[in-house]
Amino acid sequence: MGTAGAMGTAGLPLLLTVCWLGTAGAATGGKVLLPPSNLSYSFVQICTLNWTWNPPENVSSGCDLEYSSEVVIDEVLQDSRAWSKSRFRLTETCLNEEMRFKVRSECKQDNSTQPSRWLEASLLPKGVPGSAAVNLSCVWHNLESMACTWRAGENASRDTSYTLHYWFDGLDSSHKCSNHSVHQGISGCIFPLSFPNVTRSYPAVRLLLRADSEAIRPVCASANPTTLVKPATPEQLTLSKVKDDIYVEWSESETFPDNCLVYEVKYHTGDSASARIIQVESNSLSVPSVDPKSKYTFKVRANPKPECYSSHLYSDWSQEESIGEELGSAFHSVLLITIPLLVAVSTIILLVYLKRLKILILPPIPEPREILKHMFGEQNEDSQSSAKEDSMDTCHRFGKEEEIHSLIVTETSVAANPDKET
C-alpha cells in the first residue's frame, strides 16, 4: 500500500508533464509521439550493456524518426546523450551504483510533432554496500603489459579475494588475470596487452573486479590505454669523451613506434643539487666544453610524446654513470690508503710502549713460595758446599800431616841407623 502510494506520488509529476505536453501540443496544433516500448538490456561483454527497444506505434510516414538516449548513474546525468536511428545502444556500466537508461523518440526536422516522454529502465547493484574493491589504478608498461592495483572495500572481510577480468575490442571473450599478488594490503595483477606498432588508435580496456561471494559487490571500470603508457627504463647508458665533449648514448625501446618518445638527460658535477636537465628526441646527446678536471654523472628517463599518447607518465631513471675524476679524488685515494696504515702502525707502537711502561712502573711480583724455595735452596747449597770444602781441607791437612810425619820418621831412622840405610 505504501509502496503503491509512493509510486503513485512519484508518477504524479510525470503524469502532469505528459498532460502539459499534450495540452501544449493541442494548443499549438502539434502531435506528441508515443515513447518506444519494450526497453531491455543484455551483457555483451564484461561491463558492456546492449540496450534495445521497439519503435513507437502510429508514426506517420513523413516522420524522420530518431531516438535520444541518456545514462544516469547514481542520480548523476552522464555526458553521454546520443542521437541515433538505431534501436539499440552500447553503454558501459559500473555495477557498483544504480544505473538508469532513458530513451525517447522524436521526429527530426518536424516542428509539428513533439518528442515523446522518456522511457526508463534501471540496473540495481547487488551485494553489500561498501564491499566493492576501491582505488583501482592501472599502468600500461612499455606497451607490453598492463598492471592494475586495488584495495578491498571497507565492508569486505579481510580474506576477501577479488578476481580481475579484462576485455577489449579484438578479444573473442573476456580473460581472467592469473598473475595475482598481494603486498601490504594492496592487491595487484598483471596481464599482457600489446598491439601492432603501426596502430595509432587503441580500443578501451574493460575491467571487472569481483569475488566468488555474492555478498561482495562487483565493480567495473574502463581504461583508455593511451593515457596510461609508461615507457621502460632506458638501459646500456654509455659515456665517452671526444676532445672536450662528452658523448652520451643509451638503448632505445623496440616496442614504441618511431619518434614517439622524448628523453630527459640529467647530469651534474659534484653536488647533485646543481643538476641540469636536457630534453632530446633521440637516444644520444653530446655535452660540449666540459671541464677535463671534473667528474660528470648522468642518468636518463623516457616520456611518451603527446603526438602519440596522452600519457604523462615518465619511466624510471636509469642507473647513474660517471666519467672523469674530481681534483681531490687522487688525494682522497691516498688518504684512504694512508690513514689505515698510520692507525695500524700507531697502534702497534702504542701497544709496545705501554707494555714497557707497565714493566717499569709495575714490575712483576714473585710468588712467596718461589722466594722461600729460592732462599732455602741457596742455604742448603752453601752448607753442602761448605761441608764439602771442610772435608776436603781436613783430608788435605791429614794427608799433609801424614806426609810430613813420614818424612820426619824417615829422617829419624836415617840418623839413628846409618848402617841399615846403606
pLDDT tens column, 99-153: 999 999 998 877 778 889 999 999 999 999 999 999 999 999 999 999 999 999 9
Q: Exposed, middle or buried: residue 408 (CB in 10 Å: 0-12, 13-18, 19+)?
A: exposed
Q: Which of 116-130, 344-358, 397-411 has the lowest mean pLDDT?
A: 397-411
Say whether pLDDT at 82 is over 50: yes
Q: Is the pLDDT of residue 341 over 70?
A: yes
Percent of the chain's residues with pLDDT above 90? 42
pLDDT given for residue 317 in this prediction: 95
> Which of 141-150, 202-211, 278-287, 323-332 bottoms out in mean pLDDT, i.e. has the lowest?
323-332
pLDDT of residue 37: 93
pLDDT band (50, 70, 90) for residue 81: confident
Whole-prediction pTM value? 0.66
Are 1 and 8 spatial neighbours (Cβ–Cβ below 8 Å)? Answer: no
Q: What is the arithmetic mean of pLDDT over 378-388?
A: 53
Which residue did the predictor score with more confidence, 381 or 100? 100
Region 373-392: mean pLDDT is: 55
Read off the pLDDT band of 8 (50, 70, 90): very low
Residues 6+ apart with CB under 8 A from 311: 140, 226, 227, 228, 229, 230, 304
Residue 330 pLDDT: 52
- Phi, psi of 266, deg, nearest 5: -115, 125
Return the pLDDT at 302: 95
> First-to-last CA distance in the chain?
188
Helix (H) or strand (E) holding 304: strand 296-304
Tell me, what's the pLDDT at 103? 95
Strands (E), 169-295: 175-176, 179-183, 186-192, 205-211, 219-223, 229-230, 238-242, 245-249, 261-269, 276-280, 284-287
All cell numbers assigned to 273: 643539487
Higher pLDDT, residue 384 or 252: 252
Residue ranges of the alpha helices (H) in 243-322?
A: none
For residue 100, give the C-alpha cell. Answer: 538508469
Grid cell at residue 110: 518536424
| The one-letter amino acid at 265 | V
Predicted local confidence at residue 382, as pLDDT:
52
Distance CA 8, CA 4 (A): 6
Q: Taking phi first (over 0 means left), then psi (-120 to 50 degrees means alpha), and beta for anything else, what does residue 332 get?
A: alpha
Give the model's pLDDT for residue 334: 64
- With a CB cutoff of 8 Å and minimum separation 6, the contacts of 153 are 130, 131, 132, 133, 134, 160, 216, 217
Q: Of the candidates 25, 164, 39, 28, which has an alpha carbon nearest to the alpha carbon of residue 105?
A: 39
Q: Is the pLDDT of residue 25 over 70?
A: no
Looking at per-residue confidence, does 339 or 418 come out higher? Answer: 339
Residue 256 scores a pLDDT above 70: yes
Predicted local confidence at residue 94, as pLDDT: 85
* Of residues 310, 280, 264, the one with CA closest to residue 140: 310
Mean pLDDT across the chain: 79
